[in-house]
Amino acid sequence: MSGFPPIRTPRSPSGWTMAVFGALAALLGVVGLVAPESLIAAMGLEPLGSAHRAPTDHTRTFITASSMAALNMGVYYVLAAFANWRAFFIWTVPFRLLTCAVFTLAVVSGRAPTPFVGVGVWEGAGALATAIALRAEHRRRLATLPEPAPTARRES
What per-residue confidence (pLDDT) applies to 58? 79
Question: For residue 120, which phi and psi values (nearest 5 degrees)?
Answer: -65, -40
CA 15 – CA 90 distance, rounded (Å): 11
Q: Give which of 70, 59, 56 is closest to 37, Cα–Cα.
A: 59
Q: Which pLDDT does position 122 carry in this prediction?
A: 94
Q: Residue 44: which region, alpha, beta or left (left: phi > 0; alpha: psi -120 to 50)?
A: left
pLDDT at residue number 7 = 65
pTM of the full predicted structure? 0.80
Query: How far is Cα 82 from Cα 11, in angstroms, rounded to an integer?
Result: 7
pLDDT tens digits in sequence order for the chain, 156 residues long: 556 666 678 889 999 999 999 999 999 999 999 998 888 888 877 777 666 767 777 778 888 999 999 999 999 999 999 999 999 999 999 999 999 999 999 999 999 999 999 999 999 999 999 999 999 999 998 888 787 777 777 766
Q: How far apart are CA 58 and CA 68, in angstroms?
A: 16
pLDDT for the residue 4: 63
Torsion of CA 140, 142, 144, 149, to 10 degrees: -170
* Ramachandran category for residue 135: left, alpha or beta (phi over 0 → left; psi -120 to 50 → alpha): alpha
Q: Cα(109)–Cα(42) distance, rounded to whole angstroms?
A: 22
Q: Is the separation of the CB atoms in 154 and 134 below 8 Å? A: no
Query: What's the rounded Cα separation, in Å, for the pair 13 and 91?
Result: 16
